[in-house]
Structure 1
Amino acid sequence: MSRARKQFNTLIKKLETARALLAEWKETLPAVMSKIDGEYNPLVDTHGEHFKQLLVLLDDMHDHKLLGKRERQKLSRFVASNALDLLADADDAVLKDLYNRHSGDDFDAQEDESKEEIRLMMETLLGAEFKGDIDVRSPQAMLKAFHAQLAEQEGEAAAPQQHQEESRPKRPADLARERRLAAEAQRVKQSMRDIFRKLASQLHPDRETDDAQRQRKTTLMQRVNAAYAANDMLGLLELQLEVEQIDQASLANLSEERIKQYNKVLKEQLSELESEIDGFVGVASIEMHADIFDEVTPASMIRELDSDIAHLRLQIAIIEEDLQSLRDVKVLKAWLKKLPNQSSKQQLQRDEDLFW
């Protein structure tokens, strides 16, 4: 089997897998989004509000006469660290006040300084100058501003270059390359058109006198038109197999040139399907505030979502217990004793899972 035919078979398998995965995403995403909106997001909000209440409680207990100096320092580190964590998700005056008093710093001043450092770093890395009010903590906003500036610079630079290129006669090698690419594109387009015409010739419903057959051919012709409009080579080939215009032996006997033309269309089709799948994954991951690095399926996304929901419920229950028990200074002292010297909200959650 030639390299082109092996590639053809591989592309067909990948396309079938991608189409099945895309269909699964289209069917499953509404349920995923409903679970995110109906269960996950409300729990995230509840967890954040409960944690804020816990920090306020600890702030109230900070000056209790039975707490020692080291215990107060440990409590302050905890309040400041976790107020800073929560401020990453919300601009809250209460949290800012907690952070400022327990850290000895000024959150707004630190934020302005940090933004300026990020701006300078990104300008150095990208070789760009960001002007105006840009959210430098948003990668999307920074990249959007960068691309806009780049497009503007390229537009200014391209104008004289384009004029120069238009006035300059093309080299024979460039002309030959343009003709070769145009001819190749025309051959690929002709391959799709040949399949379409062959199917249309056989399936045109107006030529059918039997009502049942006319309805069958009308449905098939609608599928043919949809596949051709979408540049769906696999769909057209499957229709040819379905109406017995070709069989596996016919595919095996196609010329190498025709196989290569089919492969070009199939590659483009696969790329479009994969981009559409990435779009579904991206929507779900953004709503879950998650970074998706591994290959993800609708089933694995739902499992991850269910796991996160269960974990949030557990953490909310733990914090609710803390809000009651830590009002007792003896319990608070024991709790502080178990708390690591350098803690974060995530570390607290792991420690409390063990503690309770």
Structure 2
Amino acid sequence: MNQSKKKLVLITPKADGKKILSAAQKQFNSLTKKIDNKKKLLMEWQETIPLYRQKVDEEYEPLEEALSNHKSEWVQLLDQSYNLPLFKKTDKLKMKHLICELAENLITEFNKDDLKTLFNKYSDEDYDTVNQQSESAVGDLMKSLAEDMFNVDLDDDVDISSPEKFHAHLQEKLREQADEQAAEAVKPRKKTKKQLEKEARQLEEDELASKSVREVYRKLVAALHPDREPDEEERKRKTELMQRVNTAYGKKDLLLLLALQLEIEQIDPEHLSHIADSRLKYFNKILKEQLSELDQETEQIEGMFKVDLNLPFYVLLTPKQLLLRLAKDIQELQGDIVAIQNELEIFHNPPALKAWLKTYKIPKNSDHDDFDNLLFGGMMPFGFK
């Protein structure tokens, strides 16, 4: 049964209407609503993720590949035009710059290794050599930053060929460091009477909270155990219900267990209003833990997509917003492809290419972030970064 379609387990005032809800009852209702909303959000993510992946695979990536192929055509067009008598020294300087910049980006971002020959032809350096030096410099920087940040000594031969291998090595060193510090640590101070009493109360509360869930579970098992049912159809129904009970109990899902009690009419809605606040506080403890776990689960999913999209951690990202962003990116790619096709057709005419080169200025290093706007005077949004 779809969780989002179930009726919320809420405490309502007693039938006489004279008693208002207590603080514990109000907290129970508040936690119930928050958990229900969080479950709906998680369900929406679970439904959205495969749809998102499918759209990326079937729509976005083919368009991105098509656009990168057109960009490769542009680099090759510059190469083919480079030695034409029409293009003078200033033109060739700009063409050389464009070929190197665009080829390097396509090789790095889209694995267009066939463009290495053109990069090497117009660059003063070999691409593989430059790339190796760059990776080495980045690796040394990562190693230095990690050592300073975590106060740990990394081996000189640490594998920095991939972030995953570097991270694994760093984690291993941190574990070794933690073990050494634990071994050298002095014996912990004896806990005060107040600290011991607090820990004892905490353990007692945890046990009582777990006991509350077990009590609900045992009542459901007693009513639904299929082995005690002689009727075959009823046994089948109880077997299905018991599967749901066991799943809910395994997840410590108190609300689902209570909902099942309501579903089989083991309790009625008014029963909840008679639960003593002394017991209800343990219910609320379980609900707080469940809400915290749901929060962590949604944060992990959102965080994964925020990293992929280069979004700050504080930006709100919902499943609907994720699909809207993808739709916008697909639309932009389609527009970019149309634009680059039109421009390639125009620039196959050497005089048109020369006229555009006259308006183009090689950006300074500080203008690198504005390269997209400078390239083609904004006419051709290639998205090189």
Same fold (TM over 0.5): yes
Query: Does structure 1 retain, via aligned residues, the 8 Å contact 2:209–2:285?
Result: yes
Number of the residue aligned with 1:310: 331
Once residues 354 and 48 of structure 2 are traced to their aligned partners in structure 1, the CA distance between those partners, rounded to angstroms, is 48
Query: Does structure 1 retain, via aligned residues, the 8 Å contact 2:158–2:169?
Result: no
Number of the residue aligned with 2:31: 11
Which deviates more from structure 2 when the two are superposed, residues 296-305 or residues 104-113? 104-113
Once residues 120 and 144 of structure 2 are traced to their aligned partners in structure 1, the CA distance between those partners, rounded to angstroms, is 26
- CA shift for structure 1 position 284: 5.7
Query: Does structure 2 retain, via aligned residues, the 8 Å contact 1:85–1:345?
Result: no
Structure 1's unaligned 5+ residue stretches are: none
- CA shift for structure 1 position 315: 2.0
1:126 to 138, 150, 154: 150
- Taking a change above 3 Å as real, the CA distance of residues 353 and 250 of structure 1, as seen in their structure-2 partners, is farther
Number of the residue aligned with 2:6: none
Once residues 302 and 271 of structure 2 are traced to their aligned partners in structure 1, the CA distance between those partners, rounded to angstroms, is 38
Once residues 53 and 44 of structure 1 are traced to their aligned partners in structure 2, the CA distance between those partners, rounded to angstroms, is 14
Number of the residue aligned with 2:65: 45
| Residue 215 of structure 1 pairs with residue 236 of structure 2 | yes
- CA shift for structure 1 position 273: 2.6
Letter in 2 for 1:161: A
- CA shift for structure 1 position 186: 0.6
Which deviates more from structure 2 when the two are superposed, residues 119-128 or residues 100-109? 100-109
- Taking a change above 3 Å as real, the CA distance of residues 320 and 220 of structure 1, as seen in their structure-2 partners, is same
TM norm structure 1: 0.81
Once residues 175 and 39 of structure 1 are traced to their aligned partners in structure 2, the CA distance between those partners, rounded to angstroms, is 61
Number of the residue aligned with 2:310: 291
Once residues 241 and 315 of structure 1 are traced to their aligned partners in structure 2, the CA distance between those partners, rounded to angstroms, is 57
- CA shift for structure 1 position 187: 0.9
Higher helix content, 1 or 2: 1
1:35 to 30, 34, 55: 55
- Taking a change above 3 Å as real, the CA distance of residues 194 and 54 of structure 1, as seen in their structure-2 partners, is same
1:158-169 equivalences in 2 (<5 Å): 158-161=182-185, 164-165=187-188
Query: Does structure 2 retain, via aligned residues, the 8 Å contact 1:54–1:322?
Result: no
Which deviates more from structure 2 when the two are superposed, residues 40-49 or residues 208-217? 208-217
SS of residue in 2 equivalent to 1:39: helix
Once residues 346 and 11 of structure 1 are traced to their aligned partners in structure 2, the CA distance between those partners, rounded to angstroms, is 49
SS of residue in 1 equivalent to 2:348: coil
- CA shift for structure 1 position 152: 1.4
SS of residue in 2 equivalent to 1:89: helix
1:173-214 Cα deviation digits (max 9, x unpaired): 443333222212111110110111122222333444444433
- Of structures 1 and 2, the one scoring higher in RCO (CA 8 A, sep 6+) is 1
Number of the residue aligned with 1:62: 82
1:143-154 equivalences in 2 (<5 Å): 143-154=167-178
- Taking a change above 3 Å as real, the CA distance of residues 334 and 126 of structure 1, as seen in their structure-2 partners, is farther
- Taking a change above 3 Å as real, the CA distance of residues 82 and 268 of structure 1, as seen in their structure-2 partners, is farther
2:196 to 170, 175, 178: 175
Query: Does structure 2 retain, via aligned residues, the 8 Å contact 1:29–1:280?
Result: no
TM norm structure 2: 0.76
Once residues 84 and 260 of structure 1 are traced to their aligned partners in structure 2, the CA distance between those partners, rounded to angstroms, is 62
- Taking a change above 3 Å as real, the CA distance of residues 46 and 354 of structure 1, as seen in their structure-2 partners, is closer
Structure 2's unaligned 5+ residue stretches are: 1-20
| Residue 23 of structure 1 pairs with residue 18 of structure 2 | no
Letter in 2 for 1:306: A
- Taking a change above 3 Å as real, the CA distance of residues 57 and 72 of structure 1, as seen in their structure-2 partners, is same
Once residues 89 and 236 of structure 1 are traced to their aligned partners in structure 2, the CA distance between those partners, rounded to angstroms, is 51
- Taking a change above 3 Å as real, the CA distance of residues 113 and 211 of structure 1, as seen in their structure-2 partners, is closer
- Taking a change above 3 Å as real, the CA distance of residues 253 and 349 of structure 1, as seen in their structure-2 partners, is farther
1:108-167 Cα deviation digits (max 9, x unpaired): 3344334423432343233333433444774x65544433321111012213438x45xx
Once residues 137 and 48 of structure 2 are traced to their aligned partners in structure 1, the CA distance between those partners, rounded to angstroms, is 44
Report the count of equivalent residues. 349
